[in-house]
Amino acid sequence: MLNNAFYHNPRCSKSRQALALLEAQGIEVNIIKYLEDTPTIEALAAIIQKLGITPRELLRTKESDYKALNLSDLSLSDKAIMAAMISHPKLIERPIWVVGDHAVIGRPPENVLTLK
């Protein structure tokens, strides 16, 4: 996993806005199009740890897969939730900006400017 990584979905307006903010600051960005280059479960666990949240908090609950996979079931383990995100990466909230041992979700996009 890269130390300076931007997990990006080019079709997402918030992701594009966050990337533009970083680039406008002259910050070097290693773009990972996570829908094509899905992180491993270990990499995803490391990102979640850097975010300081639970796997459930990284889920996009409005995605059709969320309902189809019954991810609202509170008895599901963190590992099961992460496995669902790896199998269906559009369930991963975006964008995610990782710098060293820290990460933020770019919602709102200006959040990415808190890490440099």
pLDDT digits (tens, 9 = 90+) for 62-97: 999 999 999 999 999 999 999 999 999 999 999 999
Domain extent, residue 51, equals: 4-114
CB 93 within 8 A of CB 7: no
Q: Give the global pTM.
A: 0.94
Pick the catalytic residue: 12, 21, 27, 80? Answer: 12
CA neighbours within 13 Å on the CB side: how many for 20?
9
Q: What is the domain-level CATH number for residue 50?
A: 3.40.30.10
User: What domain count does the chain have?
Assistant: 1
Q: What is the pLDDT of residue 1?
A: 46
Q: Based on the residue annotation, tell me whether 12 is a catalytic residue of this protein.
A: yes
Q: What is the dihedral of CA 42, 112, 90, 85, to 10 degrees?
A: 20
CA 61 vs CA 4, 15, 21, 98, 107: distances in Å: 27, 17, 26, 22, 15
Tell me the per-residue pLDDT of 29-45, one tens digit each, with 9 for 90 and over: 999 999 999 999 999 99
In this prediction, residue 2 carries a pLDDT of 54
Residues composing the chain: 116
